[in-house]
């Protein structure tokens, strides 16, 4: 690598400026972001991103699920591009960094290469994946899953949000159903920068996490059917209370995750009473469960223990509980050579670093089943994420972007 390339640093202030500029699209009063996938706010940030990529000389294509691919030509266009990026959608009350950092750092890498006049051998392709978060449409990371062939495009297009709007209708409503067939933009490998979303790097005073693995995920949709009746006149022993049943399931989930721990977590994140009223015993409650582990055997144990606990509670309370496993994502092992490339870049740049497992799901995890993939983590304040208070420092964001850039340069190749 030439000296110019090996000494290259991204523009920290420019990256920080882009993160804060885009945080206006869906800004919440507490300093977070609400930018549900394929919403009006998502369209605003997508339009901004498309313009910024085009201004950086990139050719932007949109696939049939709305994922955006921005290509920077390489010297050897017979080589598949090195992919980098993340997502621009957020949780309903999300932060400014989850997904945004990896997508905008990818753009900052390209802007830095442009300014330095550096051409790479392989092309580079920045990706903004549709619906990473999974809070409007399930499952999470659906576009990258379709990209690697885990779902068909039509299956994903027909998924509905809680209002009955399909992915196809949502894409059309913001004019982001593109012509490129899903999977048609080939990538040779993929590298994603992200905040850790957990407490380890901060506690150990490490600047960079070299991500070598990721937890597997189990998602369930649940429905409890009991019996609605008068809250004043129905004696306690005669009740079939759907919400009281859910309370037991929530506590069972907590107990099961702890029993299978420390490498297991379990959460009931959504609960909706069908016809809520202060003086009616709830007769129908819908809920969701999210369980995770980096170990396939522990995932099986979580599934078995949860089903057994639900069956016992259902029989004892004389209610009906439907528990559907709607998504199973196996644990991820990232590509050894790419993980080494991230580690080498962090070391060469002089950043303190350690290997780490991702607790969260990421598009890179889906891609790793078909192409070499890896991730770079930086610390976030108090390990907090999926919260408006999510925070990271400018210096750590810049460090992560520098590691991303030097990993990409090593993978794409630059003339010496």
Q: Given CA atoms 203, 204, 208, 210 in this order, what sign does their dihedral have?
A: negative
Does residue 262 have a cis peptide bond before it, meaning omega lies within 30 degrees of 0? yes
**Host H or E run for residue 366:** helix 363-367
Minimum Å gap between C-beta 292 and ligand GLV is 8
Provide the total of helices (H) and of strands (E) in the chain, helices listed first. 13, 15
**C-beta closer to Mn ion: residue 74 or 134:** 134
Q: Which does 41 bind (CB under 5 to 8 A by kind): ligand GLV, Mn ion, none?
A: none
CA 87 to CA 34: how far, in whole Å?
A: 14
Minimum Å gap between C-beta 293 and Mn ion is 18
**Residues 6 or more apart in contact with residue 366 via CB below 8 angstroms:** 141, 144, 145, 147, 148, 150, 329
Q: Which does 84 bind (CB under 5 to 8 A by kind): Mn ion, ligand GLV, none?
A: none
**C-beta closer to Mn ion: residue 99 or 209:** 99
Minimum Å gap between C-beta 79 and ligand GLV is 31
Residues lying near Mn ion in the complex (CB under 5 A): 98-99
Residue of closest CB approach to Mn ion: 99
Q: Which does 405 bind (CB under 5 to 8 A by kind): Mn ion, ligand GLV, none?
A: none
Instruction: Check residue 117 and give left, alpha or beta (phi > 0: left; psi -120 to 50: alpha).
Output: left
Q: Which does 214 bind (CB under 5 to 8 A by kind): ligand GLV, Mn ion, none?
A: none
Q: Which does 361 bind (CB under 5 to 8 A by kind): Mn ion, ligand GLV, none?
A: ligand GLV
**C-beta closer to ligand GLV: residue 99 or 222:** 99
**C-beta closer to ligand GLV: residue 314 or 391:** 391
Q: Which does 331 bind (CB under 5 to 8 A by kind): Mn ion, ligand GLV, none?
A: none
Residues lying near ligand GLV in the complex (CB under 6 A): 133-134, 140, 360-361
**C-beta closer to ligand GLV: residue 107 or 217:** 217
How many angstroms from the chain centroid is the CA of residue 215? 12
**C-beta closer to ligand GLV: residue 329 or 406:** 329
Minimum Å gap between C-beta 215 and ligand GLV is 8
Minimum Å gap between C-beta 291 and ligand GLV is 12
| DSSP characters over 239-258 | ---HHHHHHHHHHHHHHHHH
Residue written as tokens 């790097």?
Answer: 201
CA 210 to CA 201: how far, in whole Å?
A: 10
- What Cα–Cα distance (Å) separates residue 240 from each residue in 232, 308, 322? 14, 20, 15
**C-beta closer to Mn ion: residue 268 or 323:** 268
**C-beta closer to Mn ion: residue 98 or 290:** 98
**C-beta closer to ligand GLV: residue 63 or 132:** 132
Minimum Å gap between C-beta 324 and ligand GLV is 18
CA 201 to CA 380: how far, in whole Å?
A: 8
Minimum Å gap between C-beta 351 and Mn ion is 21
Structural contact between residues 208 and 371, judged by C-beta atoms closer than 8 angstroms: no
**Host H or E run for residue 326:** strand 320-329
Minimum Å gap between C-beta 192 and ligand GLV is 12
Structure tokens at 298: 């522990």
Q: Which does 140 bind (CB under 5 to 8 A by kind): Mn ion, ligand GLV, none?
A: ligand GLV
Structure tokens at 337: 């050579």
Q: Which does 102 bind (CB under 5 to 8 A by kind): Mn ion, ligand GLV, none?
A: none
First to last CA, the chain: 5
Minimum Å gap between C-beta 193 and ligand GLV is 15
């Amino acid at each position: 690598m030439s000296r110019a390339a090996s000494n290259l640093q991204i523009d920290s202030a420019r990256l920080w400026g882009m993160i804060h500029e885009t945080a206006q699209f869906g800004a919440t009063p507490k300093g977070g972001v609400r930018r549900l996938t394929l919403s009006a706010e998502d369209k605003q940030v997508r339009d901004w991103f498309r313009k910024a990529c085009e201004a950086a000389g990139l050719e932007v294509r949109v696939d049939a699920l709305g994922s955006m691919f921005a290509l920077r030509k390489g010297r050897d266009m017979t080589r598949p591009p090195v992919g980098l990026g993340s997502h621009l959608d957020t949780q309903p009350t999300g932060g400014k960094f989850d997904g945004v950092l990896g997508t905008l750092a990818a753009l900052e890498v390209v802007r830095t290469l442009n300014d330095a006049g550096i051409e790479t051998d392989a092309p580079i392709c920045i990706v903004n994946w549709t619906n990473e978060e999974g809070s409007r449409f399930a499952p999470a990371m659906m576009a990258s899953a379709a990209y690697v062939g885990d779902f068909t495009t039509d299956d994903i297009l027909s998924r509905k949000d809680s209002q009955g709007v399909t992915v196809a209708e949502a894409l059309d409503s913001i004019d982001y159903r593109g012509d490129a067939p899903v999977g048609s933009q080939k990538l040779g490998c993929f590298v994603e920068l992200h905040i850790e979303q957990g407490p380890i790097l901060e506690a150990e005073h490490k600047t960079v996490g070299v991500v070598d693995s990721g937890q597997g995920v189990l998602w369930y949709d649940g429905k409890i059917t009991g019996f609605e009746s008068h809250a004043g006149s129905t004696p306690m022993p005669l009740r079939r209370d759907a919400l009281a049943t859910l309370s037991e399931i929530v506590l069972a989930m907590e107990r099961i995750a702890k029993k299978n721990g420390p490498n297991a977590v379990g959460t009931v994140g959504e609960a909706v009473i069908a016809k809520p009223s202060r003086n009616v015993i709830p007769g129908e409650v819908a809920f969701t469960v999210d369980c995770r582990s980096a170990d396939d055997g522990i995932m099986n144990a979580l599934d078995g223990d949860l089903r057994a606990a639900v069956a016992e509670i259902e029989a004892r309370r004389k209610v009906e509980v439907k528990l559907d496993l709607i998504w199973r994502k196996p644990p991820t092992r990232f590509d050894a050579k790419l993980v080494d490339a991230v580690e080498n870049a962090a070391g060469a740049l002089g950043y303190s670093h350690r290997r780490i497992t991702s607790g969260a799901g990421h598009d890179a995890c889906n891609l790793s089943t078909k192409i070499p993939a890896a991730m770079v983590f930086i610390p976030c304040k108090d390990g907090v994420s999926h919260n408006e208070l999510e925070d990271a420092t400018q210096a750590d964001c810049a460090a992560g972007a520098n590691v991303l850039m030097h990993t990409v340069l090593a993978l794409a190749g630059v003339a010496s």
